[in-house]
Each structure stands twice: as structure tokens, then as C-alpha cells.
């Protein structure tokens, strides 16, 4: 068995921001299959709903973050064009979805603390389901055009994403004895949670473990249900100081800790020595230390889950169980919102809610801490989002005020 040694990656240095940032408004666009909408229209709907949630007007926003280089970003120019505003608006491409859905608070903490900024939006949207017939805009295009992958992975058949993670899943099974039923438990739990969520793409589609096991392989050992959706959708959340948040309309949710970890192999993570580990090995301990919590304190967990095996590995790497014991840890109803040992992706995640790259995961845990979630965890006080992009991972710890 391998263990995650400390020399294959590292944690980023992030200044302590505990208590400096609060999330005061959240909004999701309609999550759908191909809808014909643009990414800008989707983002605008999410922003409108986040502002309404916080009780703010567009002119109250003085900062916006988005994911640079991924799709048609809703930046300051797009914000002004949609809302008809013209005031000064700080912007940064170091936000949006994936790992940056977790690290966005760290990007703006000092500016909020100093008063340079008052209300900052983090926004992400995609129209990849609509774009899919043209085979543009989705994760496959990004990976196919990335130079390392195009030169050193694609020519050998290690492409696209289901192939990557089928390889990793098989390695995990060989090393640790992980079983298909254990991956299936993750998929079934996410689907059950999505069945309870009014905005989930898979709300009306049930899935039992027997159904899962009867499905054919997509890329052995993964079935379609082990893989994320491709969706149109998006979300936004609004950050401010805890003091300002108390003057707004919603219960205050505090950012308690943020971490980020990276693999030394960068985007060429076929060469990552610890092949069945994620950079959560480095990210989660840093975030938990900043928040002064341990994995046992976590009431709700939301993980970026493009594939079931990625969720299982992150659960191990964040310290919820020992490496190699993730399969046994997630069996049965262990991840259920209503009685599981670790309520997980209570909105359904990328597997069953929508593929909007982590922004809705953060929105879901905010709603959990407010007591507003569809699949509400009783007395939730500490919630965590784990972001992932292969060679990067991030961890966001939120606390009910």
C-alpha cells in the first residue's frame, strides 16, 4: 500500500482569515440540460438571486470574482452591461468554481477587512450542455488543448476524463480492495439527495444500489452513474465582513478556514507518484488548523465530485478515515443527510445535482448552516467544501455564527 508522503506536493501559504469574511447572500441559476442559454445569461440570473437573498442592489457591489480562462466569464464589464451600472467595480479572475470556489474568500479577505471593498460577488456559470453538440467549452476541450496532456497523455490513449479516473479507480481497488458497491453507495446517496432538491437536474430520476450494479460499464470499473453530469447552470455568493453581514437579511455564515494544496507534477498528473491520493492531503489540514477544528467536528461535507472515486479519495485524504479505508467508510447509508456518519453532498453534487463546478456546493453548505437546505442536516454548525482540479485541491471551512 502507498501512503501520501509529504514530498509529492505542498500547501499554499494563506494568511489567517478566520472571522474576517462572511457569506451573506447566495443564488443559483436554473440548472438544466441543454437550454439554449448563454453563460452570461445564466450568471446574471444567479447574481440577481444572490443579491435578492442578501437584500442588496447591484450598485452595492464593489467587487467581483470569476474563473479566468474558463468559458465566458461574468466579469465587471458583463455585470455593468446586464445591470446598467457604471460605478467602479474591482475584479479578479481568481474566483468562480472548482478550487477557487473555496479560495475566493482568501483573495478578498484583506480588502474587506481594510474597508477597501464592502460587498464582493463570486460568480461561476457554464452552458456546456448547450455547447456539447459543437464539442466546445467543456472540460474535454480544455484537457485536449493543454500542451502536456496533448503531447504526453492523449497520444497514448489516456483521455478523456472517464479514462483518467477509471485508471485511478482500478488502482485504488487493487491497492486497497475497494469494491464497486462502495463506489455505488456514493452515487446512490447523491441521487437520493438530489431527489429531494427542487433545483437538481436528476430530481425525478431514482437510483438504487441494485440499479447501479445492473448498469453497464462505461470505462471499467466506472459506470455512467460514477460520472458527473454535463449541465447548463451557475451560482453566485456574496462576501462581506461579519459586521456588515449582521445588518443584512440572512443568518450570518462565517468563513473559518481556507486551504489549498498542489501536486508537484502540475497538470501532468499522470506522473503523480501517489496516484490514489489528491492534494487534499496538503489542503485540508491547513484549513482545519486555521479554523481550529478537526474532521470529527464537521457536520456537513461537500466535495467536488466529477467521479465517485474522486470523492472517496478526498474523504480519505482529508482525514475522515485512514488511507485505503474509504470504501468501508462510505458503505450503505454512511453519507446520508438523515443519520449518516458524515452527511455528504446533500444537494446531489456534480453526479446528480448539476455540473456547475463547485459553486453550488458552497451555496448548499451555506444553506445547511442557515437551516434552509432541502435535505437539512440537524443542528449543522460546521460545514466544509473540498475543491479539486486534479493537480490542485482546496478546502473551505464555514461556521454558523
User: What proportion of the chain, given as a percentage, has pLDDT over 70?
Assistant: 97
Q: How confident is the model at residue 267 (pLDDT cuts 50, 70, 90)?
A: confident
Q: Which of 91-95, 155-159, 246-250 has the lowest mean pLDDT?
A: 155-159
Residue 318 pLDDT > 60, yes or no?
yes
Q: How confident is the model at residue 69 (pLDDT cuts 50, 70, 90)?
A: confident
Q: Class of the 22-133+231-245 domain? A: alpha beta
Residue 124 pLDDT > 90, yes or no?
yes
Residue 209 pLDDT > 50, yes or no?
yes
Q: What is the tens place of the pLDDT at every residue in 215-231? A: 999 999 999 999 999 99
Q: How confident is the model at residue 268 (pLDDT cuts 50, 70, 90)?
A: confident
pLDDT mean over 8-16: 96
User: Could you tell me the pTM of the whole model?
Assistant: 0.96
SS3 string, the chain, reads CCCCCCCCEEECCCCCCCCCCEEEEEEECCCECCCCCCHHHHHHHHHHHHHHHHCCCHHHCCEEECECCCCCCCCHHHHHHHHCCCCCCEEECECCCCCHHHHHHHHHHHHHHHCCCCCEEEEEEEEHHHHHHHCCCCHHHHHHHCHHHHHHCHHHCCCCHHHHHHHHHHHHHHHHCCCHHHHHHHHHHHHHHHHCCCCCCCCCCCCCHHHHHHCCEEECCEEHHHECCCCEEEEEEEEECHHHHCCCCCCCEEEEEEEEEEECCCCCHHHCCCCCCCCHHHHHHHHHHHHCCCHHHCCEEEECCCEHHHHHHHHHHCCCCCCCCHHHHHCCCCCCCCCCCCCECCCCHHHHCCCCCCHHHHHHHHHHHHCCCCCCCCCCCEEEEEEECCCEEEEEEEEEC
Cα dihedral 31→376→291→293 (10° resolution): -140
pLDDT mean over 40-50: 98
Q: What is the tens place of the pLDDT at every residue in 137-148? A: 667 777 788 888
Domain ranges of the chain: 22-133+231-245
Q: How confident is the model at residue 1 (pLDDT cuts 50, 70, 90)?
A: very low
pLDDT at 4: 43
Q: What is the mean pLDDT of the chain?
A: 95
Residue 2 pLDDT > 50, yes or no?
no
Residue 263 pLDDT > 80, yes or no?
yes
Amino acid at each position: 500500500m502507498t501512503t501520501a508522503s509529504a514530498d509529492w506536493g505542498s500547501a499554499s501559504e494563506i494568511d489567517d482569515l478566520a472571522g474576517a469574511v462572511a457569506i451573506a447572500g447566495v443564488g443559483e441559476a436554473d440548472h438544466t440540460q441543454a437550454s439554449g442559454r448563454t453563460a452570461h445569461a445564466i450568471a446574471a440570473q444567479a447574481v440577481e438571486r444572490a443579491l435578492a437573498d442578501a437584500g442588496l442592489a447591484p450598485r452595492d457591489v464593489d467587487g467581483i470574482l470569476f474563473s479566468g480562462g474558463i468559458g465566458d466569464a461574468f466579469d465587471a464589464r458583463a455585470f455593468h452591461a446586464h445591470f446598467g451600472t457604471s460605478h467602479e467595480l474591482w475584479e479578479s479572475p481568481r474566483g468562480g468554481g472548482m478550487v477557487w470556489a473555496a479560495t475566493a474568500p482568501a483573495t478578498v479577505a484583506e480588502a474587506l477587512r481594510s474597508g477597501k471593498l464592502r460587498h464582493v460577488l463570486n460568480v461561476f456559470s457554464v452552458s456546456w450542455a448547450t455547447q456539447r453538440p459543437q464539442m466546445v467549452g467543456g472540460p474535454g476541450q480544455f484537457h485536449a488543448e493543454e500542451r502536456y496532456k496533448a503531447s504526453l497523455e492523449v497520444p497514448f490513449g489516456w483521455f478523456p476524463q472517464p479514462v483518467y479516473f477509471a485508471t485511478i479507480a482500478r488502482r485504488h481497488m487493487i491497492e486497497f480492495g475497494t469494491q464497486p458497491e462502495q463506489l455505488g453507495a456514493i452515487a446512490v446517496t447523491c441521487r437520493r439527495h438530489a431527489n429531494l432538491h427542487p433545483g437538481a437536474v436528476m430530481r425525478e430520476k431514482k437510483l438504487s444500489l441494485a440499479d447501479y450494479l445492473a448498469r453497464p460499464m462505461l470505462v471499467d470499473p466506472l459506470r455512467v452513474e460514477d460520472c458527473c453530469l454535463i449541465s447548463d447552470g451557475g451560482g453566485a455568493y456574496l462576501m462581506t465582513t461579519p459586521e456588515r453581514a449582521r445588518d443584512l437579511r440572512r443568518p450570518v455564515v462565517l468563513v473559518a478556514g481556507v486551504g489549498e494544496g498542489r501536486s508537484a507534477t502540475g497538470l501532468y498528473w499522470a506522473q503523480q507518484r501517489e496516484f490514489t491520493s489528491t492534494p487534499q492531503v496538503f489542503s485540508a489540514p491547513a484549513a482545519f488548523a486555521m479554523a481550529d477544528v478537526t474532521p470529527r467536528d464537521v457536520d456537513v461535507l461537500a466535495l467536488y465530485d466529477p467521479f465517485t472515486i474522486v470523492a472517496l479519495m478526498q474523504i480519505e485524504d482529508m482525514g475522515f478515515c485512514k488511507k485505503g479505508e474509504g470504501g468501508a467508510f462510505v458503505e450503505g447509508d454512511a453519507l446520508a443527510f438523515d443519520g449518516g456518519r458524515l452527511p455528504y453532498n446533500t444537494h446531489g453534487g456534480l453526479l446528480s445535482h448539476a455540473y456547475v463546478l463547485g459553486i453550488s456546493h458552497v451555496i448548499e453548505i451555506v444553506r445547511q448552516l442557515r437551516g434552509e437546505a432541502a435535505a437539512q442536516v440537524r443542528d449543522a454548525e460546521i460545514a466544509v467544501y473540498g475543491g479539486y482540479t486534479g493537480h490542485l485541491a482546496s478546502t473551505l471551512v464555514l461556521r454558523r455564527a
